[in-house]
Chain A
Amino acid sequence: MRTLKLITRFYGGIFLGNFLVTLSCIFLFLHAGHDAYKIIGILFWYKVITIIMIFYTADHYKKNELYYYQNLGISKLKLLITTSIFDFLLWLGIIWIQLLIGIPAYLSNLFLWSVLLIHLYLYTRK
């Protein structure tokens, strides 16, 4: 439980970047309309590559903080694997919902702005 809490805390720091990528996939899906299934391969690699890029950016800018997690028994590799799997599953879930029922564009917009405002609020609180 403690490990999960710590990994969640680390993920919180890279969530926004990853989530913006996921939302951009939804927008591309919306624009593709009936041909959406044709671009799913491209979106898959787009997501995988951005997950790795965002983690390595975090590794660069938060490298000092990684010693905190290391001293708590959570290695960089464990952080990479767990946050990447979770984020990919989140992406997969949202894409699946989009494929099955289709999220209206206004709802995606509302969701995006809510996430941005929450992050802005949390950032200014820091």
Chain B
Amino acid sequence: MIHTLEADGIELDFGLRRILSDVYLKCETGKITGLLGRNGQGKSCLMNILLGNLQTASNSVRFDGKVIKKASKRSDLLLYLPQFNFIPKSLKVKQVLDDFQLNYADFENRFPEFKGRQHVKVNSLSGGQWRTVEIYIIVKSPSLFAMLDEPFTHLNPIQIEKIKEFLMEEKANKGFLITDHMYSHLLDVSDNVYLLKDGKTHPAKTIADLEYLGYLNIGVRD
């Protein structure tokens, strides 16, 4: 059965500045939805609205057509990878996986660089490894959907390729909403992409679409 996460009617203002006004977003299980946008366009705000962490004048966030106001209280519905490190730094890698009821051996098989590192504290890992642990727990933990805010940041090219491969495999188990400035990686893994511009979402499929919508300026249209 395919599950859906839809959001529309979202209005968000910071003082006199309107951040979001005409947003429509649809995610489905089994698919990766990309969300692009320049800095300050409200991508992270939109994710926090979907979670119910950020209150707005009006919004409608629906899971399978049913309005859910506080998805943050339903980890079975929606998990969230924020753009910053969120694992308490004093925890060991195995403790983190145990908290999320995930098997360390499976993690080790997926990311062999963690072999024998289960007792290392997360703050002793490199930035890329720390981020890898965070991505793994959010992607692997059971839920219908997961939102990943800048998952490729802090990762080296090899780690990025591994994460892309991992996401392509795991999309069979849930739906993903991903935002990142590394648009080429995002386009590689996404089934559909939205560009957030001037408070509105615009469907985009190719680099040419992104250039047409003014997100890129690399001469694809020339």
A interface: dominant SS: helix
- CB contacts (< 8 Å) of B100 on chain A: these are 71-72
Do the beta carbons of B75 and A6 come within 8 Å of each other?
no
A31 vs chain B, min Cβ distance (A): 37
Q: Which of B15-23, B37-45, B78-86 contacts the other chain?
A: B78-86
Residue of B nearest to A68 (CB): B86
- CB contacts (< 8 Å) of A9 on chain B: these are 88
B88-112 near A? 1/0 per residue, CB < 8 Å: 1010000000011100000000000
A82-117 near B? 1/0 per residue, CB < 8 Å: 000000000000000000000000000000000000
Asked whether any CB of chain B lies closer than 8 Å to the CB of A70, the reply is yes
A57-79 near B? 1/0 per residue, CB < 8 Å: 00000101101101111010000
Asked whether any CB of chain A lies closer than 8 Å to the CB of B3, the reply is no
Residues of A in contact (CB 8 Å), total 14
Interface residues of B in 100-159 (CB under 8 A from A): 100-101, 137-138, 141
- CB contacts (< 8 Å) of A6 on chain B: these are 99
B48-80 near A? 1/0 per residue, CB < 8 Å: 000000000000000000000000111110011
How many angstroms from the CA of A76 to the CA of B79 in the assembled complex?
Answer: 15
B40 vs chain A, min Cβ distance (A): 20
Do the beta carbons of A73 and B90 come within 8 Å of each other?
no
Residue of B nearest to A66 (CB): B86
Do the beta carbons of B99 and A65 come within 8 Å of each other?
no
8 Å CB contact of A70 from B75, B76, B88, B99:
B75
8 Å CB contact of A71 from B85, B90, B101, B138:
B138
Asked whether any CB of chain A lies closer than 8 Å to the CB of B87, the reply is yes
A72-B75, A75-B72 known; A67+B82 contact, CB < 8 A? yes
- CB contacts (< 8 Å) of A68 on chain B: these are 86-88
A125 vs chain B, min Cβ distance (A): 9
Chain A interface residues (CB < 8 Å from chain B): 2, 6, 9, 62, 64-65, 67-68, 70-73, 75, 126
10 pairs from A and B in contact (CB 8 Å cutoff): A62-B88, A68-B87, A70-B75, A71-B75, A71-B79, A72-B75, A73-B73, A73-B75, A75-B72, A75-B73
Chain B interface residues (CB < 8 Å from chain A): 72-76, 79-80, 82, 84-88, 90, 99-101, 137-138, 141
